[in-house]
Amino acid sequence: MAIQIPRGTQDILPKEANLWQFIEDQAREICRLYHYEEIRTPIFEATDLFQRGVGDSTDIVQKEMYTFQDRGGRSLTLRPEGTASVVRSYVENKMHGEPKQPSKLFYMGPMFRYERPQSGRTRQFTQFGIEALGSNDPAIDAEVIALAMHFYHNLGLRNLKLVINSLGDPESRSQHRQALIDHFKPSIGDFCQDCQNRLTSNPMRILDCKVDRDHPLMATAPSILDYLNDFSVSFFAKVKQALDDMGIAYEIDPTLVRGLDYYNHTAFEIMGEGFGAITTLSGGGRYNGLVSELGGPETPGIGFALSIERLILAMEAENIEVPYDETIDCFIVTLGEDAERKTPVLLQQMRHAGLAVDQDYVGRKVKGQFKQADRLGAKYVAVLGENELQQGVINLKDMTTGEEETVGLETLATTVKNKLEE
Ligand code: HAM
């Protein structure tokens, strides 16, 4: 039996790869405008990094990591997300010491989570994310959100909803934590085993539980917004004000807690409509304790990530198409053995001149070669037979107008180039 692709992964075939490249170009362009520079980190990291970075009690760490031992006995994990790796690199490369703070970084690449595959949820998915490290200014929280919205907007998406919340600072969180424990403790026996463990390890995670989400105590759980101290309230107010000033609409959802442990203050998600059960297109927030948790100096950070897979589903739902150039500049139709030897040389000259060109490689007759030229969307077809070869010329046909002319072999490349530039 033929071997099949692993569950939860996908092949991206050429036509779709064109869409991916378009999206990736847009991502790079938006990062240029907001001045985020690219960082590339390894696809696997020490398992410890995610245990400490993402958080031991999260679903990601407990159930979803691809963890393996290498031949040297080290525990490594395929990265389930990008933030922990970026922060590790920031600390390891002492980027905090660079005068150019904040460090504004972006990344794009595959992430791996062992999740139940469904539309919009795969085991290998591609995140585009940004991280701004070294600024506590609420204006940068708003900038990160603005970049995300701007990116989606440039791609033509309109059915978007921005949802924000504040998770407060550690002081606010610890007050809220106690309130959650008091709230859930009397009935914790009704909840799943994970939630029972979460009650003491990380009660906020209960709010994010997929199993118990309809339990009546979820709806009445104490809201973090009621436990924010003055600093956290004022920080959140400034973020909201900055969004208002930029004309970015949002909803506040006090139950938005996010699935990773490192967040505090600003948390946000962007939702799409009409592309299936999973509607979260992207998520992010502030993670002021993460740099120090991973061994660096106390440094604030904020960022977000989206997956290109979900973005594509949302684009399909809104019938957004991107340009796809299926043409080549010239196809050489060859007749006879001597011409067959000359054609690769002509192609080489044309390619060195910057032209996209091709020939037949499967022994087609002349008619078949013309058909192939048509399939490849050739703008010009050059026909080289023994006669032409002897005279040092080639017959060039403009496939749009049908006009034909004879050109010298040596000038084929420049002729086609000039014609295309006309
Ligand atoms: P996250 O919410 O876990 O956050 O993931 C961000 C985005 O990645 C999601 O909104 C979704 O678009 C996509 N995603 C996650 N899992 C899957 C999956 N199995 N299949 C397809 N897409 C998926 C983070 O990863 C944080 N590192 C974001 C961040 C950056 N926070 C601060 N900086």
pLDDT per residue over 228-238, tens digit each? 999 999 999 99
The residue with tokens 């139940």 is 116
Burial category of 341 from C-beta neighbours within 10 Å (exposed 0-12, middle 13-18, buried 19 and up): exposed
Burial category of 116 from C-beta neighbours within 10 Å (exposed 0-12, middle 13-18, buried 19 and up): exposed
Burial category of 13 from C-beta neighbours within 10 Å (exposed 0-12, middle 13-18, buried 19 and up): exposed
Query: Strand runs (DSSP E) across 353-409, as ranges?
Result: 357-359, 378-384, 393-398, 404-408
Q: CA-CA distance, 394 to 409, in Å (whole number)? A: 6
Distance 302 CA to ligand 1 centre (A): 14
Q: CA-CA distance, 400 to 392, in Å (whole number)? A: 25
- Summarised one tens digit per residue, pLDDT across range 134-174 is 999 999 999 999 999 999 999 999 999 999 999 999 999 99
The CATH number corresponding to 14-169+229-317 among 3.20.20.70, 3.40.50.2300, 3.30.930.10, 3.40.50.11030 equals 3.30.930.10
Of 257, 277, 273, 275, nearest to 265 (Cα)? 257
**What phi and psi values does residue 324 have, to the nearest 5 degrees?**
-135, 110
- Cross-strand bridge partners of residue 331: 358, 381
Strands 66-69, 75-78: pairing is: antiparallel
Question: Is the C-alpha dihedral spanning 43, 48, 54, 58 positive or negative?
Answer: positive
- If you average pLDDT over residues 226-253, what whole number do you get? 98
Assign residue 44 a region (left: φ > 0; alpha: ψ between -120 and 50; beta: otherwise).
beta
Distance 405 CA to ligand 1 centre (A): 57
Token couple for 261? 């442990």
Of 243, 291, 78, 64, nearest to 145 (Cα)? 243
**CATH of region 330-421:** 3.40.50.800
- Summarised one tens digit per residue, pLDDT across range 74-128 is 999 999 999 999 999 999 999 999 999 999 999 999 999 999 999 999 999 999 9
Token couple for 182? 């008091």
- Summarised one tens digit per residue, pLDDT across range 16-29 is 999 999 999 999 99
Please give the pLDDT value at position 311: 97
Our mutation pick for probing the ligand 1 site, out of 271, 310, 313, 315, counting the most ligand atoms within 8 A of Cβ, is 310
- Cross-strand bridge partners of residue 160: 272
Query: What is the chain's length?
Result: 422
Answer yes or no: is pLDDT of 41 > 90: yes
Common-topology check for domains 14-169+229-317 and 330-421: no
Tell me, yes or no, if the pTM score tops 0.85: yes
Token couple for 381? 């077809």
Domain edges within the chain = 14-169+229-317, 330-421
Please give the pLDDT value at position 257: 87
Which residue type sits at 219?
A
Q: Which residues form the pocket of ligand 1, taking CB atoms under 6 Å from any ligand atom? A: 81-83, 113, 115, 120-122, 125, 127, 129, 131, 259-260, 280-285, 303-307, 309-310
Instruction: Count how many Cα atoms sit within 13 Å of the Cα of residue 178 in the half-sphere of its side chain.
Output: 6
Q: CA-CA distance, 345 to 354, in Å (whole number)? A: 14
Which atom number of ligand 1 is nearest to the Cα of residue 260?
Answer: 3
Our mutation pick for probing the ligand 1 site, out of 282, 287, 311, counting the most ligand atoms within 8 A of Cβ, is 282
Distance 352 CA to ligand 1 centre (A): 42
